[in-house]
Each structure stands twice: as C-alpha cells, then as structure tokens.
Amino acid sequence: MRNRHVTTKRFEGRVALITGAASGIGRATALRFADEGAAVAVVDRDAVGAERTAAEIATAGGHAAGFECDVSTSERVTALVAEVERALAPIDVLANVAGIGDTAGREGIEGIDDARWSLVLAVNLNGPFYLCRAVLPGMAARGHGAVVNVSSLAGRSKSANGGLAYTASKAGLLGLTRHLAFDYGQRGVRVNAICPGGVDTPMLRAGGPSAAESEADAQERRRRVAAYGWFMPIKRISAPDEQAAAIAFLASDDASYINGVSLDVNGGLYMA
C-alpha cells in the first residue's frame, strides 16, 4: 500500500460504514476514513478479516468495530445497520465496496448458468441496493449523508478480465447511483460512484495467469493483460489507497456540490 500521508480530519465525529473492508479497496477505505477521524464500521463476510482491519485501526489510535455480513442477504443487511447504529451512532457515510468477480466467465453467454449470474448480481448490485434502502431514510431524516458506490470501468464500458455478469452488475450500479442521487439530493444526501480500472487486489490477482486452469488459458490471460497494459496512459495498476482517496473525497464536504457522478479512477484507461 502506498503511504497515505493523511493530515486532514474531514470525518471527525462521523460514522462511516465500509463494506468489503477485510481486504483490497475496502480495507484501504476503512483505514483512510479512520485516519480522517471517522468511527468506522468495518463490514465483510469474512468476520476474521473484518476484525483484523478494525484492530489495525484501533492500534493506530482510531475507532472501529468489525461486523460480519453477507451483503447479498436482505435480512442480514437490515440487521447489520441496526447493529452498527447501536454500537457506534447513526451512519453518515456509506461506502459500498464489497464485490465479487466472474473471472471464469470468458467462454460466452452460453456458459453462464443461472446460479453464477444470480450470485454476481446479488453481491454487486443487490447488496448496494439493500444497504442504501436500509441507510438512506435515516440520512434523509437527519438532512445529511453521503453514499459512494464502487462500480468499475466495466460499468462504463466492459470488463477486460471479468465476465458478462460482472459487467452487467457494475453498469446496473451506476444506474442505481444516478437514480438515488436524483431522489435524495434534495433531502441532503449525495450519492456518487467511482469506476476503478485495474487495482492490485485479491480479486484482480485471482483472474491473472497464475489462476489459469491450463496453459492455453494462461496464455490467453497473458495476452489480455498485455493488451490492457498497452492502452494504459499511466503504466501501472492502481494501489487500493488511491481508490480510497477518491472515495473519501466524494464522501467529504469538499465534494458538497458533486452528486450523481461516476468518477473514473483508472489512470486514463477510459476517458469520457
């Protein structure tokens, strides 16, 4: 992870709920918000990983609590929000970071069965919907709040390394972002999204050549990586804390007039 060098306290006195916070972008985001003064609800389906991130924050002098949650389950999400608000306080910031890939789904639509399609959409699209449904009414009642959804370059265009279900879920998340921004902006709640490209996370590494099931598959993955790299103006993949910085900006008062935006954080790989 790159050195954050955080000196501001933009979230002092606020509560931030971060999903997918056991690793990758979610962990970096939890650390960033804690560095900036937030009390952080560290949420992940990996309970041990969530507690590990929360402990890391506490060791650094911050305030955090770990929570286990499968965001694809509506009832569990509803219970989670109640647990967080009992343990910390009403939620001021929601960062929907949790997501799964579909890195096996390169063989075409005929190879995607119902279960695989449903699982990817359940985590990547239903999960943010469930969390927003549980959190936004309280934010609106208090007249302030911010939501940042982590979509993807795939949602803006297509996925170079993931499958069809992943691309569809991330595009749907951008639609959800825009509609909620329209509905809730007048009630003091801003809803935005970021669209990362390649980020050095466990999910990205799971789709690399080392995860191939055959030499032919490995060669195909290497070709995809090489093509991806050729088109990148900044010739490296992102570090998770670079994505966390963008999330923190959109959630902060520095972005007080930014609403319904899909912010590309991909080094110029996609320009619009």
pLDDT in tens, 202-259: 665 555 555 556 676 667 666 766 666 667 778 788 899 999 999 999 999 999 999 9
Secondary structure (3-state) at 194: strand
Residue 222 within a domain? no
Residue 231 within a domain? no
18-32, 57-71, 92-106, 187-201: least confident range: 92-106
Looking at residue 40, what is its pLDDT? 98
Looking at residue 171, what is its pLDDT? 97
Looking at residue 198, what is its pLDDT? 79
Looking at residue 233, what is its pLDDT? 79
pTM: 0.89
Q: Which residue has the higher pLDDT, 114 or 230?
A: 114
Please choose, from the candidates 73, 128, 74, 76, the residue with its C-alpha nearest in 3D space to the C-alpha of residue 99. 128
Looking at residue 162, what is its pLDDT? 73
Contact 78, 52 (CB under 8 A): no
Task: Assess whether pLDDT exceeds 90 at residue 76.
Answer: yes
Check if 166 is active-site.
Answer: yes
Task: Assess whether pLDDT exceeds 60 at residue 105.
Answer: no
| Per-residue model confidence as pLDDT tens digits over 148-176 | 999 999 899 887 767 889 999 999 999 99
Residue 68 lies in domain = 15-199+240-265
In CATH, what number is assigned to the domain containing residue 91? 3.40.50.720
Mean pLDDT of 111-131: 95
**Distance separating alpha carbons of residues 172 and 128, to the nearest angstrom:** 11
Residue 68 within a domain? yes
Looking at residue 2, what is its pLDDT? 47
**Distance separating alpha carbons of residues 271 and 236, to the nearest angstrom:** 17
User: What are the C-alpha distances in Å from 109 to residues 117, 211, 271?
Assistant: 10, 21, 28
Looking at residue 119, what is its pLDDT? 96
CA terminus-to-terminus distance, the chain = 28
Residue 230 within a domain? no
Catalytic residue among 130, 166, 228, 270: 166
Percent of the chain with pLDDT over 70: 85
Looking at residue 215, what is its pLDDT? 74
Residue 225 within a domain? no
Q: Which residue has the higher pLDDT, 268 or 137?
A: 137
Task: Assess whether pLDDT exceeds 90 at residue 39.
Answer: yes
Burial (CB count within 10 angstroms: exposed 0-12, middle 13-18, buried 19+), residue 4: middle
Looking at residue 104, what is its pLDDT? 54
Contact 201, 208 (CB under 8 A): no
Average pLDDT, the chain: 90
Residue 270 within a domain? no
Task: Assess whether pLDDT exceeds 80 at residue 103.
Answer: no
Q: How confident is the model at residue 5 (pLDDT cuts 50, 70, 90)?
A: low
Looking at residue 225, what is its pLDDT? 65
Residue 210 within a domain? no
User: How many domains does the chain contain in total?
Assistant: 1
Residue 181 within a domain? yes
